[in-house]
Each structure stands twice: as C-alpha cells, then as structure tokens.
Chains A and B, each alone.
Chain A
Amino acid sequence: GESVGLHLPTLSVQEGDNSIINCAYSNSASDYFIWYKQESGKGPQFIIDIRSNMDKRQGQRVTVLLNKTVKHLSLQIAATQPGDSAVYFCAEKTPDKLVFGAGTILRVKS
C-alpha cells in the first residue's frame, strides 16, 4: 500500500453518502486554494480550486466552501463512490508557491 497515508486523519463513509473533508489554512492573505486527490501509487490530481473572492464553487459532484473568517475550507463530495477512495490535500497559494496540507484519507465502504 501507499505509505503516504500513515498518521493521516481518516474519514470512512458508506458508498452513496456525502463526504465532507476539512482543511484549515494558516495565512489570512492567501487568495487562492486548491483541492487535490491522490490515489495509491499516483501523483496528486487537481480536483477543484477557489479564489478568496468566492465562498463556494461547484464542480461535478464536488463543492468547495471557503470561510475566510475562520480560515477554513471544505471539500464536499456528493454520492461518494468507491473510486473516490484516496488521500485528499488542500493547498494554499503564497506569493510564489503552493503550500500543501498533510492530507485526509477517504475510505469508502461498499
């Protein structure tokens, strides 16, 4: 298995349920955020992004919510499927690079 998952928080959901993955960021000046999905043995894949002038952005089955007051963003996955099982990272933009969170493991139970 992928060793990157050791010591990460884990969210277990039943197939078909909605998933909510949370992320706290540190820099109140950050103006751009990205969610990535990383499947076992693969590189991270872009899921959805949001700019700080927005509170919510929707994609296909995914929604990102941004609360700048408490420096928190969340990723909501509707009707979670077995293929959604992965590690999910948030990233915040600093002036010249992205800073990544440690990630959350999502496990989908069939």
Chain B
Amino acid sequence: DAGITQSPRHKVTETGTPVTLRCHQTENHRYMYWYRQDPGHGLRLIHYSYGVKDTDKGEVSDGYSVSRSKTEDFLLTLESATSSQTSVYFCAISWGPGGEQYFGPGTRLTVT
C-alpha cells in the first residue's frame, strides 16, 4: 500500500446522499483506477484515468462519476448512493495501460 492512500477507510451513509471517496498517490503514476469488490465477483472496474482530466468508464460505471484535477488525486463520487453500492472500493495505480497495478488499502462503504 506504500504511496497510495484512500479516504475515508470506512463510511456509513444513507440512501440518496452523495458520497465522495478519495485516492491519493505519491508515485506519480499516470494511470489510476477505481474498483469495487463484492463477494464472489472479484474486482470490477468502475472508472479509470489515463491522465489529468482524462477518464473513461469501466464495466460497472452506472451511478458513479470520477474526477482527476491533479496527477496525485482521483475522486470517485456516488451522486445519490443506493444500497447496491454497498461494497469495498479499491483504488489502484499503474505506469501504463494493462500493466502491473498497485492497490490502496480500500474503503468499506455501507449504504443503509
């Protein structure tokens, strides 16, 4: 987890409220990713970024938006949280596309 932090690490929120998760890296990697992890599903890609202000959708992007205004920060926003978004969220970074990814410690989000 060295060089990658996620905040908050745990959050409980109510249905319909907005939530923003933050990923911060000190490694100057170009690519950043947001995944969610649910029982039996492995890691599923939500959104990724290939540079400042450059983002693209992953396989489960509905209900999520992202922003990257600086190399070191990648934000994931749930505009109106739903119970189906209860999950563990991981941020990852890599030098290039499809290369080795380094993961943060995760954020456990519970939507009640």
Using a CB–CB cutoff of 8 Å, the interface residues on chain A facing chain B are 3-8, 32, 34, 36, 41-46, 49, 89, 91, 93-98, 100-103
By beta carbon, the residue of chain B nearest A3 is: B39
A-chain residues with CB within 8 Å of residue B102 when the two chains form the complex: 46
Question: Which one of B12-20, B41-49, B60-68 is at the interface?
Answer: B41-49
Using a CB–CB cutoff of 8 Å, the interface residues on chain B facing chain A are 1, 33, 37-45, 48, 58, 88, 90, 92, 97-106
B-chain residues with CB within 8 Å of residue A101 when the two chains form the complex: 42
A-chain residues with CB within 8 Å of residue B39 when the two chains form the complex: 3-7
A-chain residues with CB within 8 Å of residue B99 when the two chains form the complex: 32, 93
In the complex the two chains form, is A43's CB within 8 Å of B45's CB? no
| CB < 8 Å A-B pair total | 62
In the complex the two chains form, is B40's CB within 8 Å of A42's CB? no
By beta carbon, the residue of chain B nearest A94 is: B98
How many Å lie between the Cα of A3 and that of B37 in the bound state?
9
By beta carbon, the residue of chain A nearest B91 is: A43
B-chain residues with CB within 8 Å of residue A3 when the two chains form the complex: 39, 88
- Min C-beta distance of A43 to chain B, whole Å: 4
In the complex the two chains form, is A97's CB within 8 Å of B45's CB? yes
Partner of A43, one of B40, B98, B100, B106: B106
How many Å lie between the Cα of A34 and that of B43 in the bound state?
14
How many Å lie between the Cα of A43 and that of B89 in the bound state?
10
In the complex the two chains form, is B103's CB within 8 Å of A43's CB? yes
